[in-house]
Amino acid sequence: MLAHLADTARQLAGVLWQQHTVYRDRAGGVVIRGEHVQRWISLSATGTRGEVLIRAGRILEGGTSAPARAETVLRLDSGTAELATACRRLLADIAVGAAPDAGRVFRPDETRSRGRKRPGAARVALWIVLATVAGAAVVAALVAYSSYRAAR
């Protein structure tokens, strides 16, 4: 199975990218790296007989591999064309999700940009300003009342 997986990966690499590197990973799977596109594809045998887990991810600036961002399971004997189609689909999913925070689900109290304040923080800041203005108004009223009482 592993020899067939390696042969299939080499064929698949030639179909996907002209420039590529194919190697075995520690778990016994095969990785195809496309340095020029900053992407990788890994194929590994699943527990089910004849099926292969295909995972895709990005290559980071230092050359390290980021965790997989997309994956699918196909039969290994489905043919290079069908495997290449599945890989292209995974790579397209990664390209869509390559923007920072793309595809991430945010809680209502989060924002996408770190520079912006969270809505909860803005609410607290508003209450602080209102309390300060109200306190200043009370102090001004007390000073005016004291001046008025002293003048009488």
Report residue 102's pLDDT band, with 50, 70 and 90 as the boundaries.
very low
3-state secondary structure the chain: CHHHHHHHHHHHHHHHCCCCEEEECCCCCEEEEEHHHCEEEEEEECCCCCEEEEEEEEECCCCCECCCCEEEEEEHHHCHHHHHHHHHHHHHHHHHCCCCCCCCCCCCCCCCCCCCCCHHHHHHHHHHHHHHHHHHHHHHHHHHHHHHHHHC
Position 22: which residue type? V
Confidence of residue 37 (pLDDT cuts 50, 70, 90): confident
Determine the pLDDT at residue 133: 94
- The amino acid that residue 61 corresponds to is E
Confidence of residue 97 (pLDDT cuts 50, 70, 90): low
pTM of the model: 0.59
CATH code reported for the domain at 2-96: 2.30.31
Look at residue 135 in the predicted model and tell me its pLDDT: 94
- Listed by start position, the domains of the chain span 2-96, 108-152
Cβ within 8 Å of residue 38, ≥6 positions away: 58, 59
Residues in the chain, total: 152
CA Rg value for the chain:
30
